[in-house]
Structure 1
Amino acid sequence: MEEELIAEIQREHITEMIRRGQRQDGRNLNEERDIQIETNLIKKAEGSARVKLGETEVVVGIKMETGDPFPDTPNQGVLITNAELNALASPTFEPGPPGEYATEIARVVDRGIRESQAIDFTKLSITEGEKVWMIFVDIHVLDHDGNLFDVSNIAAISALLTTDIPYEKYEVEPGTNEIDIKTIPVSKTYLKCGNEILLDPTHNEEMIGTTRLTTITNSENEIVGMQKGQSGTWTEQEIYNIVDKSIEKAQKTRKIIKNNITKR
């Protein structure tokens, strides 16, 4: 009972701060936390990146192997994205197979890569209808303090930008050493709390929010994906405003990504 009372007092305090245009960590409502990117940390992976967004931390490893193409796309490579929410990263995570939240994170990251056409999958075909390159994007959450969608997106595209294709390992005739990334999809997540809208919510803010909206843009500032979460609603004008802000914020994030990519 005492813990519930303390949690309720904390929620009321955060809500009142937001109502005044303030946040616990000192940011304004349309301000992101600092982004830190480190690449090439997993030697056995074809590509990797660790990204911190404030106190939220994610590692992504990229593995590539040869396999069969899907019957409906015989001349295209395969992309498989998974997210693992380590129980040590947050008391809200439970051990076991990926749940609904992990599946949603993986789906949003995967959609951003596919719908932006960041990768030309036809270039990952080895023998049409028989053998293609398969890309496995594995997302591991190390520390959860909110907004796993954006940090996972940044980590995934950063890892892909450092990925080397392992031709020798699978005795495939060498070609271009790196995956050709044609555009950099970037997601931006907003949360509505009462009548206020916050960019890049922390975990405490997510606990009191009523609805969430993640937008994904490409390098050409085009919207390539959106994902709504929670049961609340958005007005048409709110969505337009979020799209405009997301485009502006994504441009800055792309510069950070490009400036922090280190090739092997």
Structure 2
Amino acid sequence: MAEVSNKDSFVLDANTFAKLHPKEFYRKFLTNNIRPDGRLLKKFRKTSINLNSIKSAEGSCVLKMGKTSVVCGIKAEVAEPRVDDPRKGYIVPNVELSPICSSLFKPGPPGELAQSISERIDKLFKQCKIIDLDKLCISEKNAVWVLYVDVICISYDGNIFDAALFSIISALKNLKLPEVTFIEEEGKVEASEEKTISLELLSTPLSATYVVFDKKYILADPNEEEENLSSTSLTFIYNEQHKLCGISKLGGIPLSKELIQDCTESAIERTDNLRQLLDSTMKNL
């Protein structure tokens, strides 16, 4: 009887198996409490920031979180105050996800994900007193600062909300506005070419996001593939005093109190670590 040659056997290599059966591929790792990229389940990706690298902006941050990279630039413009808030300036956040960062996104108007993140960040600024908007007033009823906060994703590999929020807080930390005076007789603003002022942040809310895989595995800081394979995501936002500023859940799977508590402790540690990174980077400017 002829022997069967090894050449006749059919064996899937790891890459092919991962593409054909991605969930089963992940399960083989997660049952051993490790992820395919080598991280433990609650391990966040390496994060780095570079501040004040965009000289044309009043504040900026280039952030890398694993393979997700974003650039945040803040431009300040003088405008008339809103009628209902004549003594307050305002902030306009915008997140851009274009085909440059991933083939997932199409050219044209902002997609659903970009709009959703922009709206969540705008809501956070309104609910959490991050900046005293009175400090953006130049002259009551006449002139205020408007901060246009633009976040552009240049490489997308999941968890864009955490990346966008941290880049914004970091850019605000190194924001410098020219010292200005409103000249009533001429109805215009005169800016100093030498003197600048910094804005004090009243709060530094930062986020930590998790996804739930197979209803039981909690994965911190999900990459794009993990987001696609998971049914539920959970984001916690904490300030520097460990006060919960917001929590959002996407997906319909009910989560136990024990699971949420486990994420809470991890989220507080993560946001503290990000603040330490920001503080140390600021000291080295």
1:99-110 correspondence to structure 2 within 5 Å: 99-110=111-122
Larger Rg: 1 or 2?
A: 2
Give the letter for the 2:96 counterpart.
Answer: E
Give the letter for the 1:233 counterpart.
Answer: P
Match of 2:202 among 182, 189, 205: 182
Question: How far apart in 2 are the matches of 1:241 and 1:115?
Answer: 26
Contact 1:113 1:185 (8 Å CA) reproduced = no
Match of 1:156 among 154, 168, 172: 168
- TM-score (ref. length: structure 2): 0.84
Question: How far apart in 1 are the matches of 2:30 and 2:141?
Answer: 55
Question: How far apart in 2 are the matches of 1:81 and 1:135?
Answer: 8
In the superposition, relative to structure 1, how do residues 196 and 41 fare at CA in structure 2: closer, same or farther (>3 Å)? same
Contact 2:87 2:134 (8 Å CA) reproduced = yes
1:112-123 correspondence to structure 2 within 5 Å: 112-123=124-135
Residue 256, structure 1, aligned to residue 277, structure 2: yes
Deviation of residue 235 (structure 1)?
A: 3.0
Match of 2:158 among 146, 169, 180: 146
Deviation of residue 236 (structure 1)?
A: 3.5
Match of 2:72 among 60, 64, 74: 60
1:1-264 correspondence to structure 2 within 5 Å: 7-167=19-179, 170-172=189-191, 177-194=197-214, 195-261=216-282
- Which one is further off, 136-145 or 227-236? 227-236
Report the secondary structure of 2:76's partner residue: strand
In the superposition, relative to structure 1, how do residues 159 and 26 fare at CA in structure 2: closer, same or farther (>3 Å)? same
Report the secondary structure of 2:198's partner residue: coil
Deviation of residue 5 (structure 1)?
A: 8.6
Question: How far apart in 1 are the matches of 2:221 and 2:76?
Answer: 31
Give the letter for the 1:37 counterpart.
Answer: I
- Report runs of 4+ in structure 1 exceeding 6 Å deviation: 173-176
C-alpha RMSD of the superposition:
2.5
Question: How far apart in 1 are the matches of 2:271 and 2:65?
Answer: 14
Deviation of residue 140 (structure 1)?
A: 0.3
Question: How far apart in 2 are the matches of 1:162 and 1:186?
Answer: 16
Q: Deviations over 1:199-236 (max 9, x none)?
A: 10011111101111111111111011122223433334
Question: How far apart in 1 are the matches of 2:174 and 2:261?
Answer: 34
- TM-score (ref. length: structure 1): 0.90
Q: Deviations over 1:114-169 (max 9, x none)?
A: 43312111111122233211111100001011111111111111111111113459
Unaligned runs of 5+ in 1: none
**Size of the alignment, in residue pairs?**
262
Question: How far apart in 1 are the matches of 2:140 and 2:284?
Answer: 30
Contact 1:86 1:95 (8 Å CA) reproduced = yes
Of the two structures, which has the highest relative contact order with CA contacts closer than 8 Å and spacing of 6 or more?
Answer: 1
Unaligned runs of 5+ in 2: 1-15, 182-188
- Which one is further off, 212-221 or 228-237? 228-237
Report the secondary structure of 1:261's partner residue: helix
Structure with bigger strand share is 2
- Which one is further off, 251-260 or 174-183? 174-183
Q: Percent identity?
A: 33
